[in-house]
Amino acid sequence: MNLNSKIYVAGHRGLVGSAIVNNLKDKGYTNVIGKTHHELDLLDQQAVAAFFENEKPEFVFLAAAKVGGIVANNTYRADFIYENLQIQNNIIHQSYKNGVKKLMFLGSTCIYPKNAPQPMPEECLLTDTLEYTNEPYAIAKIAGIKMCESYNLQYGTNYISVMPTNLYGPNDNFDLEKSHVLPALIRKIHLGKALEENNWDALREDLNRLPIEDVDGSASEDEIITKLDAYGIKKQPKTQNATPNTPQISIEIWGSGKPMREFLWSHDMADACVYLMENRDFKDTYSHSELDSESTPSQDGKTCEAVTSQPNTKNPKPNTANEVRNTHINIGTGVDISIKELAETIKTIVGFKGELYFNADKPDGTMKKLTDVSKLHGLGWKHTVELKEGIEKMYNWYKENI
């Protein structure tokens, strides 16, 4: 990419897209374009075709997607598979038709099997069943990887797929119904602290900027307390045996707190994306000398074939000498943390003194999802922001902007 290259960032206002735009501008790129949903509906095939024909971008970052946490993924299953397939099909195909020089497709590490070996190498794609709660979203993202691979192999395009781990940072989604775990915990614990301190100004300011369903800062105290209670921010009734040190506010967190998760600062993710677009091509994403290998070991020595539920013993394995697979790149830190430890870290940073309650009757999701980042490191990039520093940055951003 040249500094005056025309670069289209799809989803430029989202968590990842906005970070990519900022990274590009910080590096001196002067012709970065983006369109809001009102300006361009990415679900509309004809509108996307007209946009590409008129604008003729040279490079594309496909960061637009319908995303959400475990509740949203499991509830709006049809929306997640339809909208994500439609967005990526429209953009990838129009990029090909209009001669885009290079495209980057952003997916998610939820593409990997529920029981994949840990850490998860790229080679484990499609080796077993997916986690049920986010299966529609994962299938859409797998389709995006295969679409990029297929256009590269058939048409000689230069499309790269990257699979980020759980991301967090400025412009994240803090909606308590639809957000991912880290921003949801930051907001819930922030609201819990305000309630704990009887700080109604802070509560009303937060709700005015981001109402919870139909409740904003103009609601009565009772209405606000009732709505917060429904989302697990609970004010405990005073008891006869209560002491000044007895927690008056508790925060309910879904699941046992035992699942392990990996988190990457969104600005680091953006830097990885721009680095790969500047320095790497599709041909760099797979080993040309090992196309005929039967299986690839993960870092812990397990092979991806070992996780298949029902190995095929009836039919011989086909010749794979000319097969190109698993060209996507994991983007992560290679370090994980339990949800319980994450919540305790946020509690300390926010300054909340109440109780954290883990509701084990609610689903945990996959127990461990750690990425193998060997391929990424081999391509020359490594993260710089550690989790505690990132949470502090994100909470400061939240207080100033939400």
Residue 46 CB neighbours (<10 A): 9
Q: How far apart are CA 390 and CA 267, in angstroms?
A: 10
Tell me which DSSP letter residue 86 carries: H
Give strand pairing partners of 164: 331
Residue 78: inside a domain, yes or no?
A: yes
Residue 161: inside a domain, yes or no?
A: yes
Predicted local confidence at residue 306, as pLDDT: 40
Q: How far apart are CA 37 and CA 285, in angstroms?
A: 32
The tens place of each residue's pLDDT in the chain, 402 residues long, gives 999 999 999 999 999 999 999 999 999 999 999 999 999 999 999 999 999 999 999 999 999 999 877 778 888 999 999 999 999 999 999 999 999 999 999 999 999 999 999 999 999 999 999 989 889 999 999 999 999 999 999 999 999 999 999 999 998 889 988 788 999 999 999 999 999 999 999 999 999 999 999 999 999 999 999 999 999 999 987 655 656 555 689 999 999 999 999 999 999 999 999 999 999 999 999 987 644 444 444 444 455 654 433 334 344 444 455 799 999 999 999 999 999 999 999 999 999 999 999 999 998 877 888 999 999 999 999 999 999 999 999 999 999 997
* Structural domain for 327, as ranges: 7-172+262-334+369-385
Predicted local confidence at residue 364, as pLDDT: 86
Residue 352: inside a domain, yes or no?
A: no
Residue 154 CB neighbours (<10 A): 9
Residue 66: inside a domain, yes or no?
A: yes
Where does residue 40 rank: exposed (0-12), middle (13-18), buried (19+ CB within 10 A)? middle
Could you list the active site residues?
Answer: 137
Predicted local confidence at residue 305, as pLDDT: 53
Residue 201: inside a domain, yes or no?
A: no
Among residues 176, 134, 152, 164, the alpha carbon closest in space to that of 20 is found at 164
Residue 117: inside a domain, yes or no?
A: yes
Residue 289: inside a domain, yes or no?
A: yes
pTM, 2 dp:
0.85
Q: How do 166-168 and 368-369 pair as beta strands?
A: unpaired
Dihedral, 384, 389, 393, 398 alpha carbons, nearest 10:
120
Give strand pairing partners of 303: 297
Q: State the total domains in the chain.
A: 1
Give the domain CATH number at 79: 3.40.50.720
Among residues 55, 152, 53, 139, the alpha carbon closest in space to that of 98 is found at 53
DSSP for 236-292, written as a single string: PPP-TT--TTS--EEEEEES-S--EE-EEEHHHHHHHHHHHHHH--GGGGS-GGGTT
Predicted local confidence at residue 345, as pLDDT: 98
Sheet bearing 59-62, strands edge to edge: 32-33, 7-10, 59-62, 102-106, 159-164, 329-331
| Secondary-structure breakdown of the chain: helix, strand, coil percentages, each rounded to the nearest 5 | 45, 15, 45
Helices and strands per DSSP (H, E), number in the chain: 12, 14
Residue 84: inside a domain, yes or no?
A: yes
Q: How do 260-261 and 337-338 pair as beta strands?
A: antiparallel
CB 101 within 8 A of CB 158: yes
Residues 6+ apart with CB under 8 A from 51: 35, 40, 94
- CA atoms within 13 Å, Cβ hemisphere of 354: 24
Amino acid (1-letter code) at residue 289? S
Q: How far apart are CA 111 and CA 125, in angstroms?
A: 7
CB 124 within 8 A of CB 142: no
